[in-house]
Chains A and B, each alone.
Chain A
Amino acid sequence: MKPTPPPEDPIRPHVFDGIQEYDKRLPNWWLNTLYATIIFWVGYWAYYEWFHIGESGTQTVAAEMARIEAERLSAVKLDDASLWQMSRNAAFVAAGKAVYDANCAACHLPSLRGKAESPVAIGNNLTDTVWVHGGRPVEIHDLIGKGVLAKGMPTWGPVLGAKKISEVTAFILSHHREGEPIVAAPAP
C-alpha cells in the first residue's frame, strides 16, 4: 500500500508561463538568523561607534607598536639617547608610572614635585631643571640604581631590576624635554 502523501500547501492562484508559487512560511531558523545579525549590528555599532568602548584600529596598532618598541628598547645598551627615546614611548612611560607610584611617590609625591609641593615631603622635586646628583638621563638612571643613602634615597637596583629602573627613568624624563638646561645645585 502506498503511504498517503502529506497534504499540499496552498498554491497561489496566479500562474506565470506555467510557473506556480507556494506561499510557505519563512523557516524560523532563517528568520532568527536575520534578526540575530540585525541585533549584532546594533550591539557592534553601540560598542565601537556610540560608546567607543572598543578600541579603534589605529589605537590598537599604536599601543601594540609601542609595546614592540619598548621590548626592543629594553634590549639596547643604555645611553642618554635611548633613555630619551624610552621617555617618548607610551608603553614604557606607562610601565614607569606604575613603578613610580608604587615605590617613589611616597617621598617624591605622585606629582613628582616632592619638597617643592609640600615641605614635609622627603624627596626632591623631579620636575624642575635643578639636579643635585646630575641631570643627564644616564646619571638619573644610575642614581636610582645606587641610591644616596645619606639623603634617604634607597638603593633600588637590586629591588626593582634593570628593566623597571629604565622604565621609571623614562617616566621621570617624560616630564622633561631633551636639551633643556641642567642646573647643578648643592645638596640642601
Chain B
Amino acid sequence: MSDRKIILEFNDKVVRQFLLATILWGIVGMLVGVLVAAQLNFWQLNFGREWLSFGRLRPLHTNAVIFAFVGNMMFAGIYYSTQRLVKARLASDFLSALHFWGWQAIIVAAAITLPLGLTRGKEYAELIWPINIAVAFIWVVFAVNFFWTLARRREPALYVAIWFYIATIITVAMLYIVNHLSLPTSLTHSYPVFGGVQDALVQWWYGHNAVAFFLTTPILGIMYYFLPKAAERPVYSYRLSVIHFWSLVFVYIWAGPHHLLNTALPDWLQTLGMTFSLMLWAPSWGGMLNGLLTLRGAWHKLRTDPVLKFYAAGVTFYGMVTFEGPLLSIRSVNALAHYTDWIIGHVHAGALGWNGFMAAGMIYWLLPRLWNRPLHSVALANLHFWIGTVGILLYVAAMWTSGITQGLMLNATAEHGTVLAYPNFLDTLNTIRPLMLMRVIGGGLYLTGFLLLAWNVWQTVRGAQPVNGTVEVFADDGAASSESGATRLGELATFFNPPVIFSILGISFACAWMFGGDAIGMAGLVGLMLCVILAYAHFESRGKAWAGWYERLLVNTAPFTVLTFIAVAVGGLIQIVPAALSHRAANLEDRRQIPYTPLELAGRDLYLREGCYTCHTQMIRTLVPDVLRYGDYSRLGESIYDFPFQWGSKRNGPDLARIGGKYPHVWHLRHLEDPRSVAVGSNMPAYAAMLAHDTDVAALPAKLAVQRTLGVPYPNWTPGQIASRVAEQSKAIAADLRTAGAYVAPEKEIVALIAYLQSLGKFEKVGAADKAPAADK
C-alpha cells in the first residue's frame, strides 16, 4: 500500500440537482394540496374542469408530496451524506444522472396522467403500470449506484445513517413491486393481481410501510448525518441507534393492518396490527431521543441558527406523530378517528412537521456548502420557520378538532342508543366546514413559508459558483480491501451468533404461540419466555461478544443487508402469505359478491378514474353507528371480486357499500349531474361531463379477459356478446330514467356509473350446502 495521497472530488452536481428539484416539486405538491383542501369547502374551485376535480388532484397531491418532494429530498440527502460517510465518490456519474433525470421524467409522467384520470385506483399506488415499471427500474439504478458506492468505500465501518439508507432501499423495492403487481388490459390500464381482502392487506402493508420506509427511515438517516453536523455535537447514543434501528425495521412492517381496524379483516390480523403499532412507540421515540439529545450542549445555537430550529422542531413533530400513531391504532380510538380528518391531521403533522422541516433544515445547511456562498438571508429563513410552525399548528389543531367533532357526531345516538343523533351525513360535514377552512389557512401559511425558502435559495444560488466537496484519501486504499481478511463475515458468522440466533428463536416461538393450537401454543409461550431469559442472561455475561459481532457486521455490507431484509420481510410473510394462499372460500364468511355485469364493470372503472375512493369508503365496520347509518356490516365475501379493493380510507362523504338499490336511478343521475340539487349543502364535485362522454365499451373484452384470469367467474363471452349485454342493461336504465322524466342516451358514461352504484351491496348467501361452488375455484 502506498501512502501517496490524492484529493477525491465528490459528485455534488447530482445533489444540487435533486435539491433544486425538491424545491420545485415541493411547491407544486403543496400548491395542489392547498387547492384540494379549498375544494372541500368550495366545490366550485374545480372550475368545472374534470382534470381539476378533487378525486383526480388528491392523488396528484399525495404522490407529488411523497415521491416528488420527499423523494428528491431523500436522494439529495442520501447522495450527499453517503459519499462523505464512506469517503468515496458516487460509483457512477452515468447512473447518478440516469437516476435524477429518470425520476424527474416519472414525476412529469405522473403529473400528466393523474389529472387525465389514468389510475390504478389504489392510494399512493395510483400510477399506471408503464410508470410503475419505470419507477422500479430507476429504483434499481439508485440501489446499484448506492451499493456500488458502498463497495468502493474507504471507510470500513457503516455509520448508522447508512443502515437506514440500506433498509430504505431494499424495503421500498420489496413493497413497491408486490403492491404494483398487475395484469394490463391496455397500455394505460391494468388490474392488480390481488382483490378484496388480499388487496386490502397488501395495500396497507405497502401504504403503511411507504410511510415507514419512504418518509421515515431515510429521513432518520438524514437526521443522523445532518443534525450532528449542524449542531457540532456527538450523537447521543450509539447503542440506542442499534436498538432502535433493528426494533423499528422489524416492528414497522407488522403494523399495516391498523389501517383496517373494525373492518371485515380477520380479527387476528387486526390484533397484530394494533399490538405491533403500540410496540412501535418506543423504537420510534428512540430516533427522536437520539436526535433531540444530540442537541444537548447546542440548544443556545437555536436562537440564531435556523437550521437547528428546523431540526429541533422536525424531530419534535416526529416524536409527536409517532406517539399519536400508536394511540390511533387502539381499536376504540380508531373507531372514532378512522375515516375522519384526525387522520389527515396526523399525516400532515408528519409530512409538514417532520419531512418538510427536516427538508428545510437540510436545504439551508447545504446551500452554502454546495454553492460556496452564505445564505442570502438568515432572517428570511427564521421567518420561514415561524410561518411554517404557525401553519402546521393551525392545520393540525383544525384537523384534530374537525376529526373528533365529526367522529363524535357520526357515532352519536339518541333514544337509548336506538337511532342516530345525526342521521344526515351532511349535518356532520357542514359542522366542520369552518375547521376545514382553517386547515386551508394553515396549509397556505406553510406554503408561504416554503415560497420564502425558494426565494432565499434563488437569491443565494443566482450567479453563485457551484462547488464540489473534496476529501483527501490514500491513492490505492481502495474498495476491495475494506471487506477482506480478518473482518470478513462469512455466511456462518452472519447467522450463527447470539443476537441472530436468539432473535430467530424468539420470533419462531412467538409465532408458534400465536398460531399453534393449544399444545403448540403453550410450548411456544414457554419457549418464548425461556428464550428471553436465556438471551438476557447471555447478554449480561457475554455482552462483549454481542457487541464485537455487531462491530464486525458493520464492516460487511452484504450480511448487513441480508439481515435487514430478513427483519423487514418476516412481518409481511406472516400476515400476507396465509391470506394470499388460502382458498378464496376461506375468505368468504357467509356471503359471496355477485360479479359485476360488463356495464357495471365499466362503471366501476369510471368510479376509479374519478377517484371516488378518495372520499367514499365501501366498508361498513363492525360498529353500531356504522351499521345504523349504512346497513349490515360488510363481510369479506362481499368484495372478493373487487380488483382493486375499494374499502377506502376517508369519508368526506358517506359509505357506499350498500348504496345499491337505496335510491332510484334518477336520484343518482340528478346527484351526479348536480349534487346540491338533491343533497343540500354537499361539497361533492359535479360530474356533468359524464353525461356527454360515451362509455368505452371497446375496452371491455380485454378487461373481462383479465378479470377471468384473476378468477372472476365470467363466461367466455365474445366481444359481440359483451356489447349486446352492455346495450341491453344500459337501455333498460335509460328507459327507466325516461319514465322518471330524464333523458340520457344509454351509451353515456353516467349510465355505466349508475349501473355500478346500483350494484353495490349485491351478494348471494353461501350456505353450508353450497360450500365450494365451481365458480370460486
Q: Which residues of B contact A20 (CB under 8 A)?
A: 228, 234-235
| Contact residues, B434-463 vs A (CB, 8 A) | none
Instruction: Answer yes or no: A56 CB below 8 A from chain B CBs.
Output: yes
Instruction: Answer yes or no: B425 CB below 8 A from chain A CBs.
Output: no
- Taking a contact as CB atoms under 8 Å apart, the answer to whether A72 and B418 are in contact is yes
For the complex, give the distance between the alpha carbons of A48 and B273 in Å.
Answer: 13
The 6 closest A-B pairs by CB, nearest first: A57-B622, A34-B282, A20-B234, A41-B275, A24-B237, A16-B159
One digit per residue, 1 when the CB lies within 8 angstroms of any chain A CB and 0 when it does not, for chain B 220-248 equals 00000100110000111111110100010
Instruction: Answer yes or no: A139 CB below 8 A from chain B CBs.
Output: no
Instruction: Answer yes or no: A79 CB below 8 A from chain B CBs.
Output: no
Q: Can you name the residue of chain A whose Cβ is closest to the Cβ of B331?
A: A57
Answer whether A19 and B159 are a contact pair too, CB < 8 Å, given A24-B240, A61-B624: yes
Q: Name the segment of A25-33, A116-124, A154-162 touching the other chain.
A: A25-33
Answer whether A23 and B278 are a contact pair too, CB < 8 Å, given A11-B234, A34-B247, A49-B267: no
Answer whether A65 and B234 are a contact pair too, CB < 8 Å, given A44-B271, A49-B267: no
Q: Can you name the residue of chain A whose Cβ is closest to the Cβ of B239?
A: A23
| Contact residues, B191-242 vs A (CB, 8 A) | 225, 228-229, 234-241
Instruction: Answer yes or no: B320 CB below 8 A from chain A CBs.
Output: no
| Contact residues, A38-56 vs B (CB, 8 A) | 38, 40-42, 44-45, 48-50, 56
Instruction: Answer yes or no: A64 CB below 8 A from chain B CBs.
Output: yes
- Taking a contact as CB atoms under 8 Å apart, the answer to whether B279 and A61 are in contact is no
* Count of chain A residues with a beta carbon within 8 Å of a chain B beta carbon: 40
**13 residue pairs A–B, Cβ–Cβ below 8 Å:** A21-B238, A22-B236, A25-B239, A30-B282, A33-B285, A37-B282, A37-B326, A41-B275, A41-B278, A42-B525, A44-B271, A57-B331, A65-B624
Instruction: Answer yes or no: A103 CB below 8 A from chain B CBs.
Output: no
Answer whether A57 and B262 are a contact pair too, CB < 8 Å, given A16-B155, A65-B624: yes
Q: Which residues of A contact B241 (CB under 8 A)?
A: 21
For the complex, give the distance between the alpha carbons of A14 and B87 in Å.
Answer: 14
- Taking a contact as CB atoms under 8 Å apart, the answer to whether B159 and A26 are in contact is no
For the complex, give the distance between the alpha carbons of A31 and B282 in Å.
Answer: 8
Instruction: Answer yes or no: B85 CB below 8 A from chain A CBs.
Output: yes
One digit per residue, 1 when the CB lies within 8 angstroms of any chain B CB and 0 when it does not, for chain A 150-176 equals 000000000000000000000000000
Q: Which residues of B contact A48 (CB under 8 A)?
A: 267, 271
For the complex, give the distance between the alpha carbons of A44 and B272 in Å.
Answer: 10
Most buried by B among A21, A41, A65: A21
One digit per residue, 1 when the CB lies within 8 angstroms of any chain B CB and 0 when it does not, for chain A 66-89 equals 011001100000000000000000
Q: Can you name the residue of chain A whose Cβ is closest to the Cβ of B157?
A: A14
For the complex, give the distance between the alpha carbons of A48 and B84 in Å.
Answer: 50
Q: Which residues of B contact A19 (CB under 8 A)?
A: 159, 225, 228-229, 234-235
What distance in Å separates the Cβ of B531 from its nearest Cβ neighbour in chain A?
Answer: 13
Instruction: Answer yes or no: A12 CB below 8 A from chain B CBs.
Output: yes
A22, A26, A65: the one contacting B243 at CB < 8 Å is A26
Q: A24-B236, A41-B279 are in contact. List 17 more A-B contacts (CB 8 A).
A: A12-B238, A24-B239, A26-B237, A33-B285, A34-B247, A34-B279, A37-B278, A37-B281, A40-B275, A41-B276, A41-B278, A44-B271, A45-B271, A57-B331, A58-B622, A61-B624, A68-B418
**Interface class of chain B by DSSP:** helix
| Contact residues, B273-289 vs A (CB, 8 A) | 274-276, 278-279, 281-283, 285-286, 289
Instruction: Answer yes or no: B514 CB below 8 A from chain A CBs.
Output: yes
- Taking a contact as CB atoms under 8 Å apart, the answer to whether B624 and A50 are in contact is no
- Chain B: interface size category: 35 or more
Q: Which residues of B contact A111 (CB under 8 A)?
A: none
- Taking a contact as CB atoms under 8 Å apart, the answer to whether A68 and B278 are in contact is no
Answer whether A44 and B418 are a contact pair too, CB < 8 Å, given A11-B234, A34-B282: no
Q: Which residues of B contact A11 (CB under 8 A)?
A: 234
- Taking a contact as CB atoms under 8 Å apart, the answer to whether A18 and B229 are in contact is yes
What distance in Å separates the Cβ of B420 from its nearest Cβ neighbour in chain A?
Answer: 11
What distance in Å separates the Cβ of A161 from its nearest Cβ neighbour in chain B?
Answer: 17
- Taking a contact as CB atoms under 8 Å apart, the answer to whether A64 and B624 are in contact is yes
For the complex, give the distance between the alpha carbons of A103 and B762 in Å.
Answer: 45
A26, A58, A64, A71: the one contacting B239 at CB < 8 Å is A26
One digit per residue, 1 when the CB lies within 8 angstroms of any chain A CB and 0 when it does not, for chain B 250-283 equals 0000000000001000011011001110110111
- Taking a contact as CB atoms under 8 Å apart, the answer to whether B268 and A49 are in contact is yes
For the complex, give the distance between the alpha carbons of A41 and B70 in Å.
Answer: 33
- Taking a contact as CB atoms under 8 Å apart, the answer to whether B627 and A61 are in contact is yes
